[in-house]
Amino acid sequence: MQTITVAIAGRQAAGLATCRRLLRQEPDTEVVGQAATCMEVVATVRKFKPRVLVCSFEICTDTDFPLLLELRRECPATRVVLLADDLTEEDQLMHALAIGARGYLGHDEIQLHLVRAVRGVDQGETWVPRKMLCKMVELALR
């Protein structure tokens, strides 16, 4: 089995440490980089070419998600999993998924689902809660 390379990005040191700890416990996963700003994220992804980027939603919430657009253009092989808090609006998440994110987790789901989400997204799956999946299907059928 090929190692899943992962970069993590966020402004909260505790959250980054949790993600790093959970991912480093997995024998098939390697954390290759870390970033705290949009510019650092792009530089880290360009340098290490991780298969998955776990990124806090707060880093890419500028209008129209320029970070996601740049990553899609510059590093299309890297798949993005967003970490969203309770204040993140569903419409924002839908837009982020529409322009390139491959999944998201709520902060309260990190402990239970981060490793599975990273593995799933690495294998080409979309990782979203069931209620969001239903909404995505509804929009696709319109």
Predicted confidence at residue 141, as pLDDT, reads 61
Predicted confidence at residue 58, as pLDDT, reads 87
Predicted confidence at residue 138, as pLDDT, reads 65
Predicted confidence at residue 65, as pLDDT, reads 86
Pairing of strands 4-9, 79-84: unpaired
Predicted confidence at residue 29, as pLDDT, reads 97
Residue carrying structure tokens 């992962």: 6
Predicted confidence at residue 115, as pLDDT, reads 96
Q: CA-CA distance, 76 to 49, in Å (whole number)?
A: 10
3-class SS at 19?
Answer: helix
Q: Number of folded domains in the chain?
A: 1
The CATH number covering residue 117 comes to 3.40.50.2300
Predicted TM-score (pTM) of the model is 0.90
Q: CA-CA distance, 40 to 121, in Å (whole number)?
A: 22
Residue carrying structure tokens 């090929």: 2
CA end-to-end span of the chain, whole Å?
40
Domain range enclosing 112: 4-141
Q: What residues of the chain score a pLDDT lower than 50?
A: none
Q: CA-CA distance, 51 to 11, in Å (whole number)?
A: 21
Predicted confidence at residue 19, as pLDDT, reads 95
